[in-house]
C-alpha cells in the first residue's frame, strides 16, 4: 500500500494545526521560564500528532459508514479524503488505524499523567472522549466547532503545563487564540458539505444557522483572534512582536468579501476555503515566531 494513501487519509496537511499549537505552547514555556525539556517536548509533539491523526481517521471511517462521503462533492479542503469511497483502503483498516493512533497518543499522555498528575489526566481524558465520540455524538449535537476550539486551547495549555507545571493567564489567552484559529477552519470547510451532512443527520454550525446567517458569522473568528492578541499586548501578557500577526488581515478580508457570494458555488468556494486555511495557519505560525523573537531579544 502506498504511503501517499495513508498520508491522504490522515490528512497530513491538516496536522499542521496541532504542530503550530504545540510549538506555541513550547515557545511560550521557554519565554516564561528560560527552560525547555527537549524529551518531554518531543513526546508531547508525537502524542498530540497521534491523537490528531486518530480523530481524522475515525472521522473518515464514520463519514463513509454513514454514507456522507459517497454523496458529497470532494474538494481539496472538504468532502472527506475519498480514500474509502475509492476503495484504496478497507473501512476496518482505517478504523483500526484510528484506534491504534488513539492508543499511542493516550500512552504518551499517560506518561505525563504519572509525572504531572491530575491536570494532565483531565486534559487527556477530555481528548480521548472527544476524539472517540467526535464523529458521532459531538458533531450530531452541533458542538463540533466548540470542541475543536477547546481542543486547540487544551493542546497549548497541556504543552505548557508539562513544561512549567503552571496555568497562567498568558497560557489560557494563547490557548484560546489557537483554538479559535482551528475552529475557524472547521467552520469554513463545512459549508460545501452542508447538504450531505444535513441529509445524514449531522448538525454543524452552518446547518444550525443556515448558510446565509453562517456567512455573517465569518468575521467573528478573525475578530476574536485579533482582539485577544491586542488585549494580550496591551495588558503585557504577550510581547509587542505579536502584532506581526496583523499582516494576515488581507487574507481574512479576501475570504470574507466572497463568502456570501460563493457559499452555494462549490468550485468558487474552494478559493474562500484556501484563503481561510492560509489565514489560520499563517496567523498561528506568526504568533509562534513573535514569541521566538521575544525570546531572542531577551537572551
pLDDT in tens, 173-202: 999 999 999 999 999 999 998 888 888 888
Segments forming the whole domain that contains residue 106: 8-298
Residue 289 domain flag: yes
Residue carrying C-alpha cell 495549555: 157
**Pure H helices in the chain:** 3-10, 16-33, 38-65, 91-116, 118-133, 139-140, 144-164, 169-189, 194-199, 205-209, 211-216, 220-235, 249-256, 259-262, 266-298
Task: Identify the pLDDT of residue 181.
Answer: 96
- Residue 3 maps to a domain: no
Q: What CATH number should be reported for the domain holding residue 189?
A: 1.10.600
Q: Which residues of the chain have pLDDT under 50?
A: none
Q: What is the pLDDT of residues 76-119, one digit of tens each?
A: 888 788 899 998 999 999 999 999 999 999 999 999 999 999 99
Say if 2 falls within a structural domain: no
Of 176, 156, 178, nearest to 166 (Cα)?
156
Q: Alpha-carbon distance 278 to 251, whole Å? A: 7
Q: What is residue 1's predicted lDDT score, i.e. its pLDDT?
A: 54
Our count of domains for the chain comes to 1
Amino acid at each position: 500500500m502506498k504511503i501517499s494513501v495513508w498520508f491522504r487519509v490522515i490528512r497530513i496537511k491538516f496536522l499542521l494545526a496541532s504542530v503550530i499549537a504545540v510549538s506555541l505552547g513550547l515557545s511560550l514555556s521557554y519565554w516564561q521560564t528560560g527552560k525547555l525539556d527537549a524529551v518531554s517536548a518531543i513526546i508531547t509533539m508525537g502524542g498530540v500528532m497521534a491523537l490528531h491523526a486518530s480523530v481524522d481517521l475515525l472521522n473518515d471511517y464514520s463519514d463513509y459508514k454513514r454514507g456522507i462521503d459517497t454523496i458529497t462533492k470532494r474538494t481539496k479542503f472538504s468532502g472527506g479524503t475519498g480514500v474509502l469511497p475509492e476503495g484504496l483502503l478497507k473501512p476496518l483498516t482505517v478504523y483500526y488505524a484510528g484506534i491504534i493512533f488513539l492508543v499511542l497518543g493516550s500512552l504518551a499522555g499517560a506518561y505525563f499523567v504519572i509525572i504531572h498528575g491530575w491536570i494532565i489526566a483531565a486534559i487527556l481524558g477530555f481528548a480521548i472522549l472527544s476524539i472517540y465520540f467526535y464523529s458521532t455524538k459531538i458533531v450530531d449535537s452541533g458542538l463540533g466547532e466548540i470542541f475543536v476550539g477547546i481542543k486547540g486551547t487544551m493542546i497549548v495549555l497541556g504543552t505548557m503545563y508539562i513544561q512549567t507545571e503552571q496555568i497562567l493567564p498568558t497560557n489560557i489567552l494563547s490557548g484560546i487564540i489557537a483554538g479559535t484559529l482551528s475552529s475557524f477552519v472547521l467552520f469554513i470547510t463545512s459549508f460545501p458539505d452542508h447538504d450531505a451532512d444535513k441529509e445524514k443527520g449531522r448538525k454543524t454550525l452552518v446547518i444550525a444557522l443556515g448558510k446565509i446567517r453562517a456567512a455573517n458569522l465569518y468575521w467573528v473568528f478573525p475578530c476574536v483572534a485579533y482582539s485577544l492578541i491586542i488585549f494580550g499586548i496591551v495588558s503585557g501578557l504577550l510581547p509587542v512582536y505579536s502584532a506581526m500577526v496583523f499582516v494576515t488581515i488581507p487574507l481574512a478580508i479576501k475570504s470574507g468579501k466572497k463568502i456570501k457570494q460563493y457559499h452555494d458555488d462549490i468550485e468558487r468556494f474552494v478559493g474562500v476555503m484556501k484563503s481561510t486555511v492560509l489565514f489560520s495557519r499563517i496567523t498561528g505560525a506568526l504568533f509562534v515566531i513573535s514569541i521566538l523573537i521575544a525570546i531572542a531579544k531577551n537572551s
